Amino acid sequence: MDRIASLHPKIREDKLYTGSYFQKTFNEELSLSNQEIWSHDEKRANLLSLYSYAKSKQMPKTLQGSLLIEVLDLGIKIGVYDEDLFREYLDMPLARPYNVFNAKKKFAGDHVKVATSAQAADASHWNRYIANVQQSQMPAG
């Protein structure tokens, strides 16, 4: 799959390709059975490695954002507050459904980036993707 991407770099923008690549690379890490038996600390470490990988391979920002939100959310549940990750989250564009705002918002003198509705749809896609991968690997019975 890496060879295909090196020959056709635009394919990295395709959700199906990226989803298949990610699932093939991290089949064990994304499995629901592991999610059920791992402690919160193990889940967070796993999510951090998935996020780092997605970031290092320049995978879609929306996938990176979905993984980062999962890391931060789980960190809150276990009392781990990573300031650097939170700052990365703040630097990501916010989803703005229905294209409500046309200008950048301001907060305490800083500009807050606002995503397009297409970016919001991509983020929603990756959230559903992560949940679907885990559900599809549930043992039958």
**DSSP characters for 36-70?**
HHS-HHHHHHHHHHHHHHHHHTT--HHHHHHHHHH
Range name among 30-39, 64-73, 80-89, 91-100 with the lowest pLDDT average: 91-100
- Scanning the structure block, which residue is given the tokens 């996020």? 51
**78 against 132, higher pLDDT:** 78
Please check the confidence at residue 119 and state whether its pLDDT lies above 70: no
The segment with the largest mean pLDDT, out of 31-35, 96-100, 106-110, 127-131, is: 31-35
Mean pLDDT, residues 23-39 taken together:
87
Q: Which residue has the tokens 């796993």?
A: 46
Distances in Å between the alpha carbon of 103 and those of 4, 27, 55, 88? Answer: 39, 41, 28, 22
Q: For residue 27, with 0-12 CB atoms within 10 Å meaning exposed, 13-18 middle and 19 or more buried, which class applies? A: exposed
pLDDT at 90 over 70: yes
Q: Say yes or no to pLDDT of 139 above 90.
A: no
pLDDT at 104: 44
Return the top range by mean pLDDT from 6-20, 27-41, 70-84: 70-84
Which alpha helices (H) appear in the chain, and where do they start and end?
Answer: 2-7, 15-25, 27-30, 32-37, 40-56, 61-78, 83-91, 117-136
Can you tell me the distance from the alpha carbon of 32 to that of 29, in angstroms, rounded to the nearest whole number? 9
